[in-house]
């Protein structure tokens, strides 16, 4: 199914809706527009992840905001792996180069503690936005907005790792009968990682090399998300809260890593080095029975928006109409990055920057933005999950939104403490070394020692404070 995406129509509809009417004159979006008009002629410099993400402010929301308010948006595209360092460097130099910031939630403790982010509570109350924050799904609202009791960012992206599976293969009577005869239970989306292994084995042994049971991202930079999810699902805790000694070398940690390595035999050859594009291409080509990814393939698998120029690089989907959506084993998916809208503490246009963030994040405008097929912003509001407009985008969109809603109730918060990057780097090196043949226990013990050294450099008491703040949030660990 190749659906046309009327971007010009979306833009016109957004302008008309945001312009207001007697019935909508007091919406949060309209309040932001009216308050921002006094800053007409101003240019706001905003940071945004380079690539598809930036097409939202470049081609959609930025031009709409300028039309409504007279404020020009200058989009500064920065690769995701440089976004944190450039944000911090500009703050330390006090350049005032940025006004509104895109911030990955795991970075907030470092950036807020460094004074790089402006507290938003006063703006939120001044422009009547606090009530509308209640529409943001709790997993994002309650976990990602605050540091030490203050709001520093508006959750703006429903990133979460969900499971995709082939309904035609799972529903085939021959597969159901053969699987139950072999493993003793019904073929269905896996609820445990042991089941995931069984299902991967079944489909690979029956269909390879034409089709493999599963594939997951295994490349450096992303693998820690998948590992952190499984580690916590199996009962792991990152630190001893009393001593702050790292716990990533214990028996649970080793068992999780050994399980991931064991599954590679039922995945395509070379999967140890696969990143998101390799997994996505194999999925769209119909070469996999299951995969884990962020929400965008739920749209692209159905062909939604893939005929736009921005998505011309995607292979044509061979699985349209055959895709099911589920939570990954354990039912508590990793949120895996995401974005907040924040205001730079060094901006000379703080109020105007906040007003743009409020407008972007509002119920009305964010619904338009999460329907852009190319911009990678995923549903994050309760009203997004319930939207009749969104549910009509492709035949299975209702099932897709229901899965994202469930994920937004149980999803696991990314580790977010001081110097999180350093901890993730050490863990990633241990995992990838094990994928290359190193002993998992030895590799993880080495990483645990590195974690302890990082904690000492940060300061044990300072890091304990950050960790306890993070661990006290509702979705830091699975509810038992």
Domains of the chain: 7-155+340-376 (3.40.190.10), 158-336+396-480 (3.40.190.10)
Are the C-beta atoms of 98 and 77 separated by less than 8 Å? no
Q: What is the pLDDT of residue 474?
A: 86
Contact between 256 and 236 (Cβ < 8 Å): yes
CA gap 50, 59 in Å, rounded: 14
Kindly report the backbone phi and psi dihedral angles of residue 405, in degrees, each rounded to the nearest multiple of 5, phi listed first: -65, -45
Window from 168-177, 255-264, 415-424 with minimum mean pLDDT: 415-424
> Whole-prediction pTM value?
0.92
Q: What are the pLDDT digits (tens) for 388-408?
A: 999 999 999 999 999 999 999
Average pLDDT of the residues of the chain: 93
Residue in this structure with the two tokens 């920057």, named with its chain if needed: 353
Neighbours of 373 (CB within 10 A): 21
Q: Residue 189 phi/psi, 5° resolution? A: -50, 135
Residue 219 near residue 227, CB atoms below 8 Å: no
Contact between residue 71 and residue 39 where contact means Cβ atoms under 8 Å apart = yes
Report pLDDT for 221: 86
The predicted structure's pLDDT at residue 252: 98
Residue 2: predicted pLDDT: 36
Please tell me the distance from the alpha carbon of residue 41 to that of residue 47, in angstroms, as a whole number: 19
At residue 25 the predicted structure's pLDDT band, cuts being 50, 70 and 90, is: low
pLDDT digits (tens, 9 = 90+) for 102-134: 999 999 989 999 999 999 999 999 999 999 999
The pLDDT of residue 375: 87
What is the per-residue pLDDT across 409-455, written as a single tens digit (0 to 9) for each?
999 999 999 999 999 999 999 999 999 999 999 999 999 999 999 99
pLDDT value at 16 more than 70: no
Q: Determine the distance from the C-alpha atom of residue 468 to the mean position of all C-alpha atoms in its chain, rounded to a whole number.
A: 23
Contact by Cβ (8 Å): 109, 130: no
Q: Which residue has the higher pLDDT, 15 or 216?
A: 216
Answer whether residue 9 shows pLDDT above 70. Answer: no
Contact indicator for 258, 194 with CB cutoff of 8 Å:
no
- Does position 12 have pLDDT exceeding 80, yes or no? no
* Rounded distance between C-alpha atoms, residue 298 and residue 412, angstroms: 20
């Amino acid at each position: 199914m190749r659906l046309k995406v009327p971007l010009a129509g979306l833009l016109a509809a957004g302008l008309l809706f945001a312009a207001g009417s007697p019935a909508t004159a007091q919406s949060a979006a309209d309040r932001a527009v009216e308050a921002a008009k006094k800053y007409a002629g101003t240019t706001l410099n905003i940071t945004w992840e380079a690539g598809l993400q930036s097409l939202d402010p470049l081609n959609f929301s930025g031009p709409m905001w300028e039309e409504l308010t007279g404020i020009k948006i200058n989009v500064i595209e920065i690769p995701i792996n440089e976004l944190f360092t450039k944000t911090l460097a500009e703050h330390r130099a006090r350049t005032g180069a940025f006004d509104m910031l895109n911030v990955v939630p795991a970075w907030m403790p470092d950036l807020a503690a460094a004074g790089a982010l402006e507290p938003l509570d006063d703006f939120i109350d001044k422009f009547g936005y606090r009530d509308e924050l209640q529409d943001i799904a709790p997993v994002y609202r309650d976990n990602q907005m605050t540091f030490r009791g203050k709001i520093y960012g508006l959750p703006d992206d429903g990133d979460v790792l969900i499971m995709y599976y082939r309904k035609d293969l799972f529903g085939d009577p021959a597969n159901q009968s053969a699987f139950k005869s072999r493993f003793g239970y019904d073929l269905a989306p896996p609820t445990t990682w042991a089941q995931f292994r069984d299902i991967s084995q079944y489909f690979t042994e029956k269909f390879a090399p034409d089709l493999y049971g599963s594939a997951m991202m295994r490349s450096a930079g992303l693998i820690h998300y998948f590992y952190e999810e499984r580690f916590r699902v199996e009962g792991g805790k990152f630190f001893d809260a009393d001593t702050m000694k790292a716990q990533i070398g214990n028996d649970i940690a080793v068992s999780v890593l050994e399980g991931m390595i064991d599954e590679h035999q039922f995945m395509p050859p070379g999967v140890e080095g696969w990143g998101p594009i390799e997994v996505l291409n194999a999925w769209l080509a119909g070469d996999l029975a299951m995969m884990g990814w962020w929400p965008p393939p739920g749209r692209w698998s159905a062909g939604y928006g893939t005929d736009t120029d921005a998505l011309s690089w995607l292979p044509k989907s061979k699985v349209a109409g055959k895709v099911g959506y589920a939570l990954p084993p354990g039912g508590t998916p990793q949120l895996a990055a995401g974005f907040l809208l924040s205001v730079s503490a060094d901006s000379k246009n703080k109020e105007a920057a906040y007003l743009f963030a409020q407008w972007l994040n509002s119920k009305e405008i964010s619904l338009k933005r999460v329907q852009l097929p190319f911009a990678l912003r995923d549903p994050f509001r309760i009203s997004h999950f319930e939207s009749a407009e969104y549910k009509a985008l492709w035949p299975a969109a209702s099932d897709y939104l229901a899965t994202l809603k469930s994920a937004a109730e149980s999803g696991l918060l990314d580790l977010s403490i001081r110097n999180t990057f350093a901890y993730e780097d050490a863990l990633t090196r241990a995992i990838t070394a094990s994928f290359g043949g190193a002993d998992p226990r030895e590799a993880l013990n080495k990483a645990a020692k590195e974690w302890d050294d990082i904690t000492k450099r940060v300061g044990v008491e300072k890091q304990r404070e950050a960790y306890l703040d993070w661990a006290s949030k509702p979705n830091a660990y699975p509810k038992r």
